[in-house]
Amino acid sequence: MWEKVWEQDKIAYGGDYNPEQWPEETWEEDMRLLKLAHIDTLTLNVFSWAALQPSEEEYRFDKLDKIMVLAKENGMKVCLATSTGAHPAWMAKKYPEILRTEFGGVKRKFGGRHNSCPNSLTYRKYSVKLAEQLAERYQNYDNIVAWHISNEYGGECYCDNCEKAFRVWLKKRYGTLEELNRAWNTSFWGHTFYDWDEIVLPDTRSEHMELERTMAQGISIDYRRFNSDSILECFRLEYEAVKKYTPQIPVTTNLMGAYKTLDYRKWGKYMDFISWDNYPSNEDSVSKTAFHHDLMRGVGNGKPFVLMEQTPSQQNWQPFNALKRPGVMRLWSYQAVAHGSDSVLFFQLKRSIGGCEKYHGAVISHAGHENTRVFREAAELGRELEQLGGEILGSVGTAETALMFDWENWWAVEYSSGPSIDLKYHQEALEYYTALHSKNIPVDIIGEEDDLSRYKLLIAPILYMTKPGVDERIRRFVTGGGIFIATYFSGYVDENDLVITGGYPGRLRDILGIWVEESDALPKHLANQFIYDGQEYEANILCDIIHSEGAKTLAEYQKDFYQGTPVITCNSFGKGTAYYVGTHSGAEFYQKFLGDICRKNNIHPAAETPKGVEAVKRVREKEQYLFLLNHNEEAKEVHLPESFAELLTGKEYQKGAILKLPAKGAAIMKSR
């Protein structure tokens, strides 16, 4: 049987609602408007710590009680936040140790949000206590569908307390200073540590030139692990607190897509379900958003997730906060659902009147009524989702292709001093992904430790850090018939960023059948070229100089002193094949190259569509849903490969029929 993300009978619709910012007499009118928009789910209590706990001894739940009753009486489901995303001012004054110290050493004062030192025992004590009190008090509300711990966890702290906690964390990781000195290669530049207390946090006061440039990669990567773990620990403590009273209610926190600071791959293991906030910038492509949805689904091990936030229209923190054009909010909502969301939730349901988010989009605008374009679009989408009922819920993806994306590798690649500042891990992964996405080929974005057995194709862009076992898993995958694609700057280091000597790409060398002797880094205007299948493509960022050790050459450099040497290779290994792309190229190449490989290996798209029409499939037991999303500014036609019922209009289509999608239109085709 398929599994529900949370206790909802339909795709949840609603979002963040902050009645505590408004006079009580306005609440009933809000309810009228929200119900008019077919909203059924409210995220409550996100930033109320200061209101709920006016002093160390005192808690006041009277207003939240009223809000909970209001929600209940109006038939709303509640996603209840624990409010610990911003500590109260009195606490910062009384216990300054809860304030973070920034990268570079500046001690913060009270202000902003996400402002608590994750290793502050005071913060942990009072955040857990608040979560516990909320769980105890509201445990009998059967309309609570999830706990929303804190909010958009993130950031770093460099305080003395964290420094001490880092040493404890290191002792646990390495056991002895000998092992730590080895792992950090401290003989370089005479950094040998003789006492744990000699270790300091890596920032511009110690090892960093700037935020993303360090002189000691090993230390800096460990700090990132430690910081991610420290914040995760805050989540886990609150998790346990609410579970004491409500073991049946699932617990989440809202993630932020490809957020570099936290190792979400590890976080996913401790969350009952994944939820995340989708805020593409004006410049972001459709495939970038798709990538982030798939990434979030991936950290949740492929299960459906919850879209916790998106804006009904504009944002407020972009340089230029464009309105979402008519239809776009609906289209992107269905894109989220297509990629695995079982919800459509907004930040925010009602615009605040003061503070920095007052010009962020909302279902209820400052005008305060329903006669706005944004409200009408929201209400229309609400109506559609209501009509969909239980369809789609719990269904999952169908990918035969996996793309490896690992946070620790991300950190390591971009901390590297040399060979090129153009090495961008997220971007590289996105380019491979985009080539597949443009062909509607479904992709699972997986971690280095995930099971490979269900895939035909594995792509591992810039697999620079090969953690223990990953080469062996890939070796088994290829031996068993899998297709593997690796790129330049792969296999260099182990989990401590120590080079695996003997020749690049290290432990992947036998699988790929090559040895990379050198790697040339040039600015993009000095690109090299190669010819693949009769067409010339650019080679830039890095140009690996490759010796085949069994691999076949698919393309060669066209100039410079390594002219005529291999740049793309292909190695038969066991029953499978391992490709190596020894450089960075452009979108046309990735589309051509991956297209060829998919074709050859019977990896099929969700559907064939015109350019700019995204096709995504979700399946649930015997049910199959094909989402068709027209991101173009004009109408498009899709030839239907089988018979479908279109769920939003209720129309039936025969195999071979043509579906007309208006500009920005969306359709959900259920197989018949």
> Where in the sequence numbering do the catalytic residues fall?
152, 309
Question: In the stretch 18-57, what mask flags binding to its own copies with x, by CB under 8 A?
Answer: x-xx-------------------------xxxxx--xx--
Say how many residues touch its own copies, by CB under 8 A: 110
Question: In the stretch 59-88, what mask flags binding to its own copies with x, by CB under 8 A?
Answer: ------------------------x--x-x
Considering the rule CB under 8 A, would residue 195 count as an interface residue with its own copies? yes
The one segment of 65-73, 372-380, 424-432, 645-653 that binds its own copies by CB under 8 A: 372-380
Three-state DSSP class for 367? coil
CA torsion sign for 133, 136, 140, 143 is positive
Considering the rule CB under 8 A, would residue 462 count as an interface residue with its own copies? no
Contact 506, 466 (CB under 8 A): yes
C-alpha of 166 from chain center: 26
Which is closer to its own copies, CB of 72 or CB of 113?
113
Pick from 544, 127, 465, 455: nearest CA to 263? 465
Contact 392, 668 (CB under 8 A): yes
Candidates 7, 97, 357, 538; binder of its own copies (CB under 8 A) is: 357
Query: 């608590």: which residue's tokens?
Result: 116
Considering the rule CB under 8 A, would residue 561 count as an interface residue with its own copies? yes
Considering the rule CB under 8 A, would residue 325 count as an interface residue with its own copies? yes
Residue 198 CB, nearest distance to its own copies (Å)?
4
Q: How far apart are CA 16 and CA 312, in angstroms?
A: 12
Considering the rule CB under 8 A, would residue 427 count as an interface residue with its own copies? no
Q: How far apart are CA 163 and CA 145, in angstroms?
A: 38
Which is closer to its own copies, CB of 380 or CB of 646?
380
Considering the rule CB under 8 A, would residue 352 count as an interface residue with its own copies? yes
Pick from 238, 80, 68: nearest CA to 147? 80
CA torsion sign for 325, 330, 334, 337 is positive
Residue 213 CB, nearest distance to its own copies (Å)?
9
Candidates 420, 487, 583, 609; binder of its own copies (CB under 8 A) is: 420
Three-state DSSP class for 396? strand
Two tokens, residue 387: 């009509």
- Adjacent-strand bridge partners of 569: 553, 580
C-alpha of 511 from chain center: 30
Residue 358 CB, nearest distance to its own copies (Å)?
6
Distances, alpha carbon 184 to alpha carbons 193, 216, 382, in Å: 10, 8, 54
Considering the rule CB under 8 A, would residue 186 count as an interface residue with its own copies? yes
Distances, alpha carbon 280 to alpha carbons 286, 288, 291, 293, in Å: 9, 8, 11, 11
Considering the rule CB under 8 A, would residue 584 count as an interface residue with its own copies? no
Considering the rule CB under 8 A, would residue 632 count as an interface residue with its own copies? no
Which is closer to its own copies, CB of 374 or CB of 402?
374
Contact 432, 402 (CB under 8 A): no
Find the binding residues for its own copies in span 166-185 (CB under 8 A): 184-185
Find the binding residues for its own copies in span 509-528 (CB under 8 A): 515, 517-523
Three-state DSSP class for 86? coil
Residue type, 521: A
What DSSP character marks residue 368?
-
Strands 613-620 and 644-646: unpaired
Question: In the stretch 96-115, what mask flags binding to its own copies with x, by CB under 8 A?
Answer: --------xxxxxxxxxx--
Considering the rule CB under 8 A, would residue 358 count as an interface residue with its own copies? yes
Q: Which residues contact 550 (CB under 8 A, 6 or more apart)?
A: 513, 514, 571
Candidates 154, 280, 394, 503; binder of its own copies (CB under 8 A) is: 503
Pick from 293, 551, 254, 541: nearest CA to 418? 541
Question: In the stretch 213-252, what mask flags binding to its own copies with x, by CB under 8 A?
Answer: -xxxxx----------------------------------
Contact 582, 548 (CB under 8 A): no
The one segment of 228-236, 386-394, 414-422, 644-652 that binds its own copies by CB under 8 A: 414-422
Residue 301 CB, nearest distance to its own copies (Å)?
33
Which is closer to its own copies, CB of 374 or CB of 381?
374
Residue 38 CB, nearest distance to its own copies (Å)?
22
Count of CB atoms within 10 A of residue 655's CB? 11
Residue 30 CB, nearest distance to its own copies (Å)?
13
Considering the rule CB under 8 A, would residue 280 count as an interface residue with its own copies? no
The one segment of 3-11, 371-379, 388-396, 457-465 that binds its own copies by CB under 8 A: 371-379
Find the binding residues for its own copies in span 637-656 (CB under 8 A): none
